Amino acid sequence: MELIDVITSKENLNRAYKKVVANKGAGGVDGMKVEELGAYIKENKDEIVRSIRNRTYMPKPVRRVYIPKDNGK
């Protein structure tokens, strides 16, 4: 089995979705809330998997959050 098959397997995608929901992931730069994610994936799953397999998938930028430290950094 190739790595791309493992990445796009139903089990792996479901595990990733459940982890985001369990962590109560914050909305990203696209403004989508975790509660909206399930419906979005159901509607767009085939296209997302196809674009990953074709290597045309372009993820959105990640929102950076700075966490203040005791040492000021």
Q: How far apart are CA 39 and CA 23, in angstroms?
A: 18
pLDDT bracket for residue 7 (50, 70, 90): very high
Q: How far apart are CA 8 and CA 71, in angstroms?
A: 42
Q: How far apart are CA 55 and CA 71, in angstroms?
A: 42
Q: How distant is the alpha carbon of residue 25 from its chain centre?
A: 10
User: Hey, where are the domains in the chain?
Assistant: 3-53
pLDDT in tens, 12-52: 999 988 988 887 776 666 778 888 888 999 999 999 999 99
No. of helices (H) and no. of strands (E), the chain: 3, 0
pLDDT bracket for residue 73 (50, 70, 90): low
Across the range 52-69, mean pLDDT stands at 84
